[in-house]
Amino acid sequence: MIRVTCKYRFSASHRLHTAALSDQENRELYGKCDNPYGHGHNYEIAVSARGPLDPQSGRAVDPVALRRLVAEQVLQPFDHRNLNIEIAEFHDAVPTTENLAQEIFRRLRAHWKSAFPGSWPVLEKISIAETPRNIFEVSDFNGQA
């Protein structure tokens, strides 16, 4: 079994603010991430898939098929967007990188079979770096993203 990991990047803006709390409480909780005008990051995501070697290609994952899936489901919708305003899932949910990681995992899992119709490879985990110092990881270990 081999695990293959491919990295991709997108840039987007967000604001961390929840309607469940007062303005004062939001400021205390999220600090400068609550700036009403929003702010941006260069996100880097790493998608890991696992499978046996395909005898014909000597590969476990077709990187072109993976890139196409990630581009369609993540990079094209998210790159150079305001996550709060332009991504429906974040109209209510706060676009913390935790929630963003779960949303990316959900999207990849939901469309995985269209990119990889066979039993292999399987989606193992994704990680997302909001900055080079803040990194979040989601895997399917508990059956829910």
Partner 1 sequence: MLVTKRVEFSASHVCRNPSLSDRENQELFGAAANPHGHGHNYAIEVTMAGNPDPVTGMVIDLKKLKEVVHREVVEWYDHRFLNYEVRPFDRVIPTAENIAIDVWQRLEPHLTKDGGRLHAVRVYETPDLYVDYFGDPA
Catalytic residues: 33, 80, 130
Q: Cβ of residue 99: shortest distance to partner 1, in angstroms?
A: 25
Q: Cβ of residue 79: shortest distance to partner 1, in angstroms?
A: 16
Residues forming contacts to partner 1 in the complex (CB under 8 A) are: 1-8, 52-53, 56-60, 63-64
Question: 82 - beta bridge partners?
Answer: 13
Q: In the complex with partner 1, which residue's Cβ is closer, 2 or 110? A: 2
Q: In the complex with partner 1, which residue's Cβ is closer, 5 or 18? A: 5
φ/ψ (deg, to 5) at 118? -75, -170
Nearest C-alpha neighbor of 112 from the set 128, 102, 124, 130: 124
Q: How far, in Å, are 30, 38, 83, 91, 104 from residue 24 at the CA level?
A: 10, 17, 23, 21, 30
Alpha carbons 46 and 86: distance in angstroms, whole number: 23
Q: Cβ of residue 55: shortest distance to partner 1, in angstroms?
A: 9
Q: Cβ of residue 102: shortest distance to partner 1, in angstroms?
A: 23
Q: In the complex with partner 1, which residue's Cβ is closer, 57 or 142? A: 57
Neighbours of 2 (CB within 10 A): 12
Alpha carbons 32 and 16: distance in angstroms, whole number: 9
Q: In the complex with partner 1, which residue's Cβ is closer, 64 or 88? A: 64
